[in-house]
Amino acid sequence: MDAIAHSPCKVEAEALQDELKRTRKENETLKVMLEVMGSKVSALQASVQEIGSNSPLSSSVSYYEVYGSIKKPRIEIPMVKPSQIFVRTDSNDKSLIVKDGYQWRKYGQKVTKDNPSPRAYFRCSMAPGCPVKKKVQRCAEDKSILVATYEGKHNHDPFGSPGHSIYSPDSSSRSSRSSIISFPVNSNPSQPGVALDLALSSPTHDKEKPCQSLMEDHTSNKNCNTKAEEYLASLTKDPSFTVALAAAVARSLSTPRVL
């Protein structure tokens, strides 16, 4: 009886072991990919630092765009949709307003466990059916930094006009006291200013103070020119980089430390 009962179990066990082997191998491959991506990110950060980053922020890349280029990600990634931007404001300014060119209606505020600063919840009010929401909260590490998390995709243009860049430095909608940290890559009028937080995915950075490192890196410089855009565009066009970046971001979000 036992022998009859065990033999299918044995087969199952072998199948599981086989799968485990395959999973390990895949894990190794992903590790290598992550390392490659890490070096690319480091190069990118160095490049951005070199040429500056604070110029006409016409648009940015978001996790959506990263995933939009992937038909079916091999790895299931929970909760990767929200993308973040970091905004430096006056530390005396207690408002949780991130001026990104869209019109937002606040519908709630909460104090969360992990951060003493209250988190504000906004809905896009520029278009009636716009599903976009954003959460704004001060960085726990540096209260002068606002962290805005965007969810969803706008079904309209900012200001209803494509020519009206939401990140124009001269734009009256921009707060003169704040600077939005984001990487201009390609133009997408339906996206808000969404930053790709490379600090999250870079293996050279620890999880702590992702916003601060970005702040130092990108606000200290004033010029971001087409070279950066070209470099970033070439990176985002690279499918392997995109996949690896997406995976790394997802892993960074789900686990504090990857390697």
Partner DNA sequence: CGGCTTTGACCGGCGC
Partner DNA sequence: GCGCCGGTCAAAGCCG
List residues near DNA by CB under 7 A. Answer: 95, 103-110, 112-114, 119-121, 125, 133, 135
Q: Which structure tokens are listed for 69?
A: 């280029």
Whether residue 58 contacts residue 187, with contact meaning beta carbons closer than 8 Å, is answered with: yes
Closer residue to DNA in complex, CB, 104/183: 104
Nearer to DNA, 121 or 159 (CB): 121
In the Cβ-directed half-sphere of 76, how many Cα atoms lie within 13 Å? Answer: 1
Return the DSSP state at 195. B
Residue 210: CB minimum distance to DNA, A: 18
* Minimum distance, C-beta of residue 15 to DNA, in the bound complex (Å): 28
- Give the helix/strand (H/E) hosting 124: strand 118-124
Nearer Cβ to DNA (1/172): 172
Q: Which is nearer to DNA, 81 or 227 (CB)?
A: 81
Tell the smallest beta-carbon distance from residue 211 to DNA (Å).
17
**Residue 81 neighbours by CB distance under 10 Å:** 15
d(CA 248, CA 199): 11
Least Å distance between CB 219 and DNA? 26
Query: In angstroms, what is the minimal distance from the CB of 78 to DNA?
Result: 9
Distance CA 9, CA 6 (A): 5
The smaller minimum CB distance to DNA, of residues 73 and 152, is found at: 152
Decide: 22 and 28 in contact? Cβ < 8 Å. no
